[in-house]
Amino acid sequence: MPITRKWNIAALLDAVGTIPLGKREYVTFEYVLLGGVNDQPVHAREVLALLRGMKAKINLIVWNPGPGIAYHQPTPEDVTVFQQMLIEGGIPTYIRRPRGRDIYAACGQLKRTVDELPSLDTPPPMLVGITAAR
């Protein structure tokens, strides 16, 4: 995300921490799981550390493959382990049901029909969206 060049994750989380939340409100983070990139237990522990003390919930979005995209889906086992670690760490965590895979329009999926592959030199940010939810 271009915004991460200006605002690092610590500054972003500090800003999110100032949002007044009601009793039943949480900050919702959308986390795209990329197979072999950010889907392992070490990454779940990093997320737990980042969100410690925050009234948050997480929607896990499993990466959806598409033609010419260098990333791949995490295994169902890795997704389950990741979710369970976050839940056990006290963060309500849900796995988003994919829709639109057949037309390359699902969450975490970009339609790509050119022959060039993206560079993997700079991995994408792990936390990709923030909303307040009730």
* pTM: predicted TM-score of the whole model, two decimal places: 0.74
Question: Nearest Cα to 132, choosing from 33, 7, 3, 22?
Answer: 22
Q: Where are the beta strands (DSSP E) in the chain?
A: 26-33, 56-62, 93-95, 127-133
26-73 pLDDT, tens per residue? 999 999 999 999 999 999 999 999 999 999 999 999 987 777 778 889
Domains of the chain with CATH codes: 30-133 (3.20.20.70)
Residue 91: pLDDT above 90? yes
64-87 pLDDT, tens per residue? 777 777 888 999 999 999 999 999
3-13 pLDDT, tens per residue? 567 778 888 89
Region 93-117 average pLDDT:
63
Q: Tell me what pLDDT residue 120 has.
A: 58
